[in-house]
């Protein structure tokens, strides 16, 4: 059967229309979740006795900065005192406030408040999540040493008490890991280790199913995790120790011992482990070596993280605006910004 020229043109037009539609279907317009997605949230602790805690937003390209984003999006409401940390769950951000004993819950992309947790909190510190529960460390560096557990409706479930401090907490490979030792001070303000344990909570039973005792005499400084491993940093005046825990099994190895004093804070970025020392030098773990990268310019290390190969360090001011310096991994200073009182943390949003 022969097609006429008109039929051929109609067929070609139909095919062109269908191809054009399919191309359009394959490239939908991106939907924005809110103005604070694809950026960095910076926590400004604020004063202990004044409600001066704030959160600063910084875009990934380091161009756009907005201060006091909680106040700006919640009818000028004050956030409170001593913003200790932020945890994320889905599209929510949980802002853990130490002094007022509350957790403000906001949409992480719009920062509109959606709820609060206040029940049974006593000097709340850090937060982690399982499928069905929320876990919050409480630590007043005296008689309160516990993890509070809440359900998905933010209702209190139970507390787990520990003999020593409950500090950093993280979720990895189906388990909750808690730093249950750290440091205290003698009457002359010399550091004293309180012990050397990491405790694991099984979310299926909400009980401690494993206690890991580290095999050094340093002070536990930090605890972080990725999807399958939990990392612990300890140090003293001579050595820095790095441990890697298999989060699923709880088995650990003392990754390395370095002749580096006072390792302070850990970061994991792009599958690479980094730490910074009290002497303000950033190191990268390369196999069995700690490769020194560069020195940071700050009075002392208060807030530290590495996000998408950018190194964030806070130079805190406990009564006024702090400074944040941002470096690349070669040590080139990319930008310095002014933030709020006592800047203490950086979070990828």
**Domain locations along the chain:** 133-270
pLDDT digits over 141-177, tens only?
Answer: 889 999 999 999 999 999 999 999 899 999 999 999 9
Distances (CA, A) of 29 to 25, 108, 349: 10, 22, 21
Over residues 278-306, mean pLDDT: 94
Distance of CA 279 to the CA centre of its chain: 23
Beta bridge partners of 158: 149
The structure tokens listed for 331 are 């040590």
Average pLDDT value for the chain: 92
Determine the pLDDT at residue 187.
Answer: 87
270-275, long-range: CB within 8 Å, 24+ apart, which pairs?
A: 270/308, 270/309, 271/226, 273/231, 273/242, 274/306, 275/222, 275/233, 275/240, 275/242
- Answer with the residue of higher pLDDT: 3 or 210: 210
Give domain 133-270's CATH architecture: 7 Propeller (2.130)
Is pTM beyond 0.75? Reply is yes
Range from 105-114, 209-218, 307-316 carrying the lowest mean pLDDT: 209-218
Distances (CA, A) of 117 to 19, 124, 127, 347: 53, 11, 12, 21
Q: Nearest-CA neighbor of 37 among 57, 53, 55, 19?
A: 57
For the chain, how big is the Rg over CA atoms in Å? 24
Determine the pLDDT at residue 3.
Answer: 47
Secondary structure (3-state) at 19: helix
Q: How confident is the model at residue 307 (pLDDT cuts 50, 70, 90)?
A: very high
């Amino acid at each position: 059967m022969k097609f006429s020229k008109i039929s051929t043109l109609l067929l070609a037009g139909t095919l062109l229309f269908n191809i054009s539609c399919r191309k359009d279907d394959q490239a939908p317009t991106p939907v924005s979740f809110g103005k604070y997605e694809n950026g960095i949230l910076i926590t400004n602790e604020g004063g202990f006795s004044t409600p001066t805690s704030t959160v600063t937003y910084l875009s990934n390209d380091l161009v756009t900065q907005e201060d006091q984003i909680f106040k700006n999006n919640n009818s000028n409401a004050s956030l409170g005192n001593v913003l200790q940390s932020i945890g994320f769950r889905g599209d929510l951000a949980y802002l853990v406030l130490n002094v007022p004993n509350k957790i403000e819950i906001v949409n992480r992309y719009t920062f509109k408040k959606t709820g609060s947790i206040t029940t049974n909190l006593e000097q709340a510190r850090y937060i982690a999540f399982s499928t069905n529960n929320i876990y919050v460390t409480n630590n007043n560096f005296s008689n309160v040493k516990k993890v509070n557990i809440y359900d998905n409706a933010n209702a209190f479930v139970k507390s787990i008490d520990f003999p020593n401090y409950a500090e950093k907490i993280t979720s990895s490979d189906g388990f909750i890991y808690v730093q249950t030792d750290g440091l205290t001070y003698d009457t002359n303000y010399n550091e004293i280790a309180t012990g050397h344990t990491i405790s694991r909570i099984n979310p299926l039973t909400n009980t401690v199913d494993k206690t890991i005792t580290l095999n050094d005499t340093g002070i536990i400084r930090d605890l972080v995790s990725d999807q399958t491993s939990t990392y612990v940093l300890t140090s003293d005046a001579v050595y820095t120790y790095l441990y890697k825990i298999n989060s699923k099994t709880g088995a650990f190895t003392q990754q390395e011992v370095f002749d580096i004093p006072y390792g302070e804070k850990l970061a994991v970025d792009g599958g690479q482990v980094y730490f910074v020392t009290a002497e303000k030098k950033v190191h990268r773990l390369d196999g069995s070596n700690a490769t020194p990268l560069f020195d940071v310019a700050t009075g002392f290390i208060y807030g530290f993280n590495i996000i998408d190969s950018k190194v964030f360090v806070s130079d805190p001011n406990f009564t006024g605006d702090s400074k944040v310096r941002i470096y690349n991994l070669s040590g080139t200073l990319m930008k310095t910004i002014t933030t709020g009182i006592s800047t203490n943390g950086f979070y990828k949003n």
